[in-house]
Amino acid sequence: MAPTMAVSSTDSFDITDFVINKGNGVKGLSDLGIKSLPSQYIQPQEALINIIPQQSIPVVDMSNWDNDPKVAESVCEAAEKFGFFQLVNHGVPLEVLDGVKDATHRFFGLPAEEKRKYTKELSSTNNVRFGTSFSPDAEKALEWKDYLSLFYVSEEKASALWPCACRDEVLEYMKRSQVLCTKLMTALMEKLNMSKPSAHCWVGRHSDVSSLTFLLQDEIGGLYVRVNEGKGEEDGWVHVPPIEGSLVINVGDALQILSNGRYKSVEHCVIASGSKNRISIPIFVNPKPNDVIGPLPELINAGEKPKYKNILYSDYVKHFFRKAHDGKKTVAFAEISS
């Protein structure tokens, strides 16, 4: 949760040491009962966003996916026009979604010394990372969030290395989401006139570097998506209201590049609540680090002019993580200069 007043009352101790070095995170600050926001977390004036209350992103009901081709068409249309959509009746059981949310609360409720074992300095593997903000060394203002990143290599390594407080529930959530991922990627690739999806497609304010992101959010809300950028209409942000049992799907930069700009990766951000802790659990469906991403050959062979160059995916990710969140500027790293 975030304090409501933008005046620091915590200058008497080293916030960086408490939050980052000692592993307390912003949850630790919140648990102290502070009544104001430390100056390090006050965002600049230009970070303020124009919220459009009347709009929202599409909600797609997948209950008739196998019998009605219009459902898949709705997914593709949402990926093209909005880059974001919510899915209901998607096939991932509600008890699995509730289980992974409970496990997330369980991990972040651990003592600081337990969570600190998974920080960059102490973690025994790069596949598990606990941290705070996004890139503290590069940010002018820190982000009010803590995170746990779990990189899936194999079930064997996950079982051995992931925190036991949440390991089993996260693995089950991933397994149950695989069928859904296959359905979505198949539909999106077929829309590009590809008979078979290419293998590499499967696997603050910012867009994601993934192919697709599957986001499970709790009932708190606070996720906002940018709409109408550069379209001559009101450029602003719309709230993604929590729907029980739904999953939020968004196009990532990798899929925008692969589709030669057909599918849109768009900016999104989270505005913290002043009174409640918010959790969200994303699954990032990424190309492999040694994959080269660029407009799919089938599109270029059909006569499309490439908008992006071919680039090693690991280089794209490194570029993303070496700076602060900066909207859609990351994708410019792959653009072909006109």
Q: What ranges do the domains of the chain cover?
A: 51-91+198-333
Which residues are paired to 236 by β-bridges? 227
| pLDDT of 45 | 63
- Cα gap 228→280, rounded to integer Å: 25
- Lookup result for tokens 């970070």: 47
User: Phi and psi of 32, rounded to 5°?
Assistant: -70, -15
Contact 250, 212 (CB under 8 A): yes
Pick from 119-133, 141-155, 164-178, 216-230 the range whose average pLDDT is largest.
164-178
> In this structure, are residues 272 and 1 in contact, taking their beta carbons and an 8 Å threshold?
yes
Report the largest interatomic distance among the alpha carbons of the chain, rounded to a whole angstrom. 64
CATH topology of domain 51-91+198-333: Jelly Rolls (2.60.120)
Helical axes 167-191 vs 69-81, angle rounded to 10°: 90
pLDDT of residue 319: 83
Q: Give the tokens for residue 88.
A: 């209901």
**What residue has token string 């003592």?**
111
> Higher pLDDT residue, 286 or 247?
247
pLDDT in tens, 25-40: 888 888 887 777 787 7
Return the closest-CA partner of residue 256 out of 264, 266, 247.
Answer: 264
The pLDDT value given to residue 71: 98
**Mean pLDDT of all residues belonging to the chain:** 85
Question: Using an 8 Å Cβ cutoff, are 331 and 265 in contact?
Answer: yes
Averaged over 236-264, what is the pLDDT? 95
Residues 6 or more apart in contact with residue 12 via CB below 8 angstroms: none
On the question of pLDDT at 16 being above 90, the answer is no
Tell me what pLDDT residue 326 has.
55
Separation CA 162–CA 127 (nearest Å): 8
129 has a pLDDT exceeding 60: yes
**3 pLDDT above the threshold of 50:** no
pTM of the model: 0.86
* More confident: 214 or 16: 214
More confident residue, 1 or 137: 137
Asked if pLDDT for residue 204 goes beyond 50, the answer is: no
Residues 6+ apart with CB under 8 A from 116: 22, 23, 122, 130
> Above pLDDT 70, what percent of the chain?
83
Confidence (pLDDT) at 51:
87
Average pLDDT over residues 50-71: 92
Per DSSP, 330 falls in state G
Q: Report CA-CA distances (Å) from 87 to 52, 197, 284.
A: 22, 21, 16
- Are 173 and 95 spatial neighbours (Cβ–Cβ below 8 Å)? no
Residue 6 has pLDDT above 60, yes or no: no
Number of CB atoms found within 10 A of residue 318's CB: 12
Element at 155 (helix H, strand E): helix 155-161
Whether 207 has a pLDDT exceeding 70, the answer reads: no
pLDDT class of 197 with cuts at 50, 70, 90: low
What string of DSSP letters covers 203-270?
--EE--SSSEEEEEE-TT--EEEEE-TTSSS--EEEE----TT-EEEEE-HHHHHHTTTSS----EEE
**Residue 14, pLDDT score:** 81
> What's the rounded mean pLDDT across residues 150-165?
94
In this structure, are residues 58 and 86 in contact, taking their beta carbons and an 8 Å threshold?
yes
Strands 212-217 and 205-206: unpaired
Q: Given a cut of 60, is residue 206 above it in pLDDT? A: no
CA 190 to the chain's CA centroid: 25
